[in-house]
């Protein structure tokens, strides 16, 4: 591994996480980041670590991957916080998925049955029981599912910690350095082309989030099927008397759309998110913010009195089946770690550990095998 030269394209949580693990193992790692590190989807995210709330009957491999990543979070947090000497705001209070109107209760019941069939750790609560856990919930909450193991992390702090830990381990970073092309010679990736010329590498890792399909040099069949999926978000500042400690998610049978409220340790309450197929558009729209506030107000009426402190948009890297694209490709020495869609923060530890193991040993673990590019 010593002196193996690795180039990572993209400095989000995925690129930084893999880079940190590889630099730690003694590789010579360079990250090329087109803009400022960690300011893509990794900055925009809600930070929920929610395999249960995100579970879908058609995505059982993804559920397994998500559960394994969550199981590795405590180890990841310990390792990262002690190297970076800072907290990343990991919180284990859990998640309440709530219904507000009678119609929502049917939807919630349906989800509960699915979670039970999948053997997930969930508890059914009456509206009253949910309010005993989270006093700020609306009196109209009809019922809730408690997911004690769906946790959260402060993704912005995680970006800072990863950057710090990566650089402490000797990782090199070129910001404002866009990779224009992946250079392939005789079926082998030999490096990348940037504005500063050709940069040679033993291994290239594509981790450019929703922009991963835009880099030239790849044969048509190998362009990763990744697209941007816009999410609008906002943050409020909690005040004494209106402090929430669980992640709260709504199901909505009707208007407005489902929302989530994620309380941070510093008192911010992050509320999200729209899901919009609008290409690379990142405009903040009144309708989106209105619906988020409407949905959050129905769940926790007391937010009416809180200051609105930030609004933003981000682009999720969605693949055609919503699961990440991980591992080897038909091109020698070219590895993909992209398409993490709604769960990239949750999937960062497993991606970083498994992709760094793959680069070090050449072995593909069972857990990432279902996520190869060749499934498309
Ligand atoms: C609104 C929203 C809410 C979300 N909420 C959650 C959540 O609660 N929980 C969860 O687990 N996940 C969540 N996600 C998803 C999660 O944020 C992403 O899956 C994850 O951040 C993807 O990380 P990444 O490093 O692949 O992408 P990014 O963070 O987007 O990083 C990719 C980087 O590549 C760089 N880049 C692009 N092209 C090039 C190039 N040619 N050369 C060099 N660099 C390049 C970009 O500038 C960018 O910095 C959310 C996402 C959004 C948008």
Q: Do residue 203 and residue 295 come from a single domain?
A: no
Q: Is residue 251 part of a domain?
A: yes
User: In this structure, are residues 325 and 355 in contact, taking their beta carbons and an 8 Å threshold?
Assistant: no
pLDDT digits (tens, 9 = 90+) for 300-352: 999 999 999 999 999 999 999 999 999 999 999 999 999 999 999 999 999 99
Q: Is residue 211 part of a domain?
A: yes
Residue nearest to atom 3 of ligand 1 (CA): 45
What is the Cα–Cα distance from 130 to 222, expressed in whole angstroms?
A: 48
Q: State which H helix or E strand residue 123 sits in.
A: strand 123-126
- Give residue 3's pLDDT band: very low, low, confident or very high (50, 70, 90): confident
Checking if the pLDDT of 54 tops 90, the result is: yes
Which whole number is the average pLDDT over 29-55? 97
The CATH number of the domain holding residue 116 is: 3.30.9.10
Task: Provide the 3-class DSSP secondary structure of residue 108.
Answer: helix
% the chain with pLDDT above 70: 100
Q: Do residue 109 and residue 129 come from a single domain?
A: yes
Task: Residue 39: count other Cβ atoms within 10 Å of its Cβ.
Answer: 17
Report the half-sphere exposure of 329 (CA within 13 A, side-chain side): 25
Q: Do residue 311 and residue 334 come from a single domain?
A: no
% the chain with pLDDT above 90: 95
pLDDT digits (tens, 9 = 90+) for 93-105: 999 999 998 889 9
pLDDT digits (tens, 9 = 90+) for 100-152: 988 899 999 999 999 999 999 999 999 999 999 999 999 999 999 999 999 99
The CATH number of the domain holding residue 167 is: 3.50.50.60
What is the Cα–Cα distance from 295 to 301, expressed in whole angstroms?
A: 10
pLDDT digits (tens, 9 = 90+) for 265-280: 999 999 999 999 999 9
Q: Is residue 368 part of a domain?
A: yes
Output the pLDDT for position 252: 81
Q: Cα(280) to centroid of ligand 1, in Å? A: 13
116 DSSP assignment: H
What is the Cα–Cα distance from 8 to 58, expressed in whole angstroms?
A: 31
Checking if the pLDDT of 71 tops 80, the result is: yes
Checking if the pLDDT of 371 tops 90, the result is: yes
Output the pLDDT for position 319: 97
What is the Cα–Cα distance from 266 to 157, expressed in whole angstroms?
A: 11
Q: Do residue 191 and residue 141 come from a single domain?
A: no
Write phi, then psi, for 206 (nearest 5 degrees): -90, 110
Residue nearest to atom 2 of ligand 1 (CA): 45
Residues with CB under 6 A from ligand 1: 9-15, 32-35, 39-42, 44-48, 178-179, 207-209, 211, 215, 231, 233, 272-273, 314-317, 338, 340-346
- Cβ-based neighbours of 323, under 8 Å, separated by 6 or more: 59, 61, 62, 65, 339, 341, 370, 371
- Residue in the structure block whose two tokens are 């948009």: 313
Residue nearest to atom 25 of ligand 1 (CA): 12
Instruction: Give the residue from 298, 319, 340 where a domain finishes.
Output: 319
What is the Cα–Cα distance from 281 to 290, expressed in whole angstroms?
A: 18
Residue nearest to atom 41 of ligand 1 (CA): 179
pLDDT digits (tens, 9 = 90+) for 166-219: 999 999 999 999 999 999 999 999 999 999 999 999 999 999 999 999 999 999
Q: Cα(57) to centroid of ligand 1, in Å? A: 25
Q: Which domain holds residue 159?
A: 5-83+155-225+320-375
Q: Do residue 278 and residue 159 come from a single domain?
A: no
Q: Do residue 217 and residue 240 come from a single domain?
A: no
Q: What is the pTM of this model?
A: 0.98
The residues facing 249 across adjacent strands are: 97, 260
Instruction: Give the residue from 286, 301, 319 where a domain finishes.
Output: 319
Q: Do residue 73 and residue 160 come from a single domain?
A: yes
What is the Cα–Cα distance from 297 to 303, expressed in whole angstroms?
A: 6
CA 266 to centroid of chain Cα atoms: 20
User: Does residue 240 or residue 226 have the better pLDDT?
Assistant: 226
Write phi, then psi, for 219 (nearest 5 degrees): -60, 150
Write phi, then psi, for 373 (nearest 5 degrees): -55, -35
Report the half-sphere exposure of 65 (CA within 13 A, side-chain side): 31
Kindly give the number of the ligand 1 atom that is closest to the alpha carbon of 208. 34
Residue nearest to atom 50 of ligand 1 (CA): 45
Residue nearest to atom 52 of ligand 1 (CA): 45
Output the pLDDT for position 102: 84
Helices (H), the chain: 13-24, 41-44, 60-84, 102-117, 127-133, 155-168, 286-299, 348-361
Which whole number is the average pLDDT over 52-64? 94
Kindly give the number of the ligand 1 atom that is closest to the alpha carbon of 274. 1
Number of structural domains in the chain: 2
Q: State which H helix or E strand residue 354 sits in.
A: helix 348-361
Output the pLDDT for position 101: 86
- Residue in the structure block whose two tokens are 């509320």: 271
């Amino acid at each position: 591994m010593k002196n193996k030269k690795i180039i990572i394209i993209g400095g989000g949580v995925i690129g930084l996480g893999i880079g940190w693990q590889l630099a730690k193992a003694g590789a010579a790692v360079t990250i090329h980041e087109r803009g400022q590190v960690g300011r893509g989807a990794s900055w925009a995210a809600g930070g929920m670590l929610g395999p249960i709330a995100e579970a879908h009957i058609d995505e059982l491999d993804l559920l397994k991957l998500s559960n394994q990543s969550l199981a590795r979070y405590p180890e990841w947090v310990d390792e990262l916080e002690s190297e970076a000497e800072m907290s990343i705001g990991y919180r284990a209070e859990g998640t309440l998925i709530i219904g507000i109107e009678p119609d929502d209760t049917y939807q919630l019941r349906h989800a509960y049955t699915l979670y039970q069939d999948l053997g997930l750790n969930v508890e059914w609560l009456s509206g009253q029981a949910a309010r005993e856990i989270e006093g700020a919930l609306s009196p109209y909450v009809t019922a809730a599912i408690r997911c004690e193991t769906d946790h959260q992390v402060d993704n912005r702090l995680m970006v800072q910690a990863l950057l710090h830990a990566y650089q402490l381990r000797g990782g090199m970073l070129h910001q404002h350095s866009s990779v224009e092309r992946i250079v392939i010679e005789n079926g082998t990736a030999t490096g990348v082309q940037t504005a500063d010329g050709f940069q040679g590498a033993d291994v290239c890792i594509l981790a450019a989030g929703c922009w991963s399909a835009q880099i030239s040099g790849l044969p048509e069949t190998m362009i990763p099927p990744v697209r941007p999926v816009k999410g609008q978000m906002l943050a409020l500042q909690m005040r004494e008397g209106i402090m929430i400690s669980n992640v709260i998610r709504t199901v909505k049978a009707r208007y407005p759309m489902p929302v989530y409220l994620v309380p941070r340790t510093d008192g911010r309450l992050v509320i999200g998110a729209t899901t919009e197929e609008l290409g690379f558009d990142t405009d903040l729209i009144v309708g989106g913010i209105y619906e988020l506030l409407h949905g959050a107000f129905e769940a926790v009426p007391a937010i009416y009195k809180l200051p609105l402190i930030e609004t933003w948009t981000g682009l999720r890297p969605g693949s055609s089946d919503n699961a990440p694209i991980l591992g080897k490709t038909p091109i020698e020495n070219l590895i993909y770690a992209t398409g993490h869609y709604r769960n990239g923060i949750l999937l960062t530890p497993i991606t970083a550990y498994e992709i760094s193991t793959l680069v070090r040993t050449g072995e593909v673990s069972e857990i990432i095998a279902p996520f190869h590019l060749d499934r498309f």
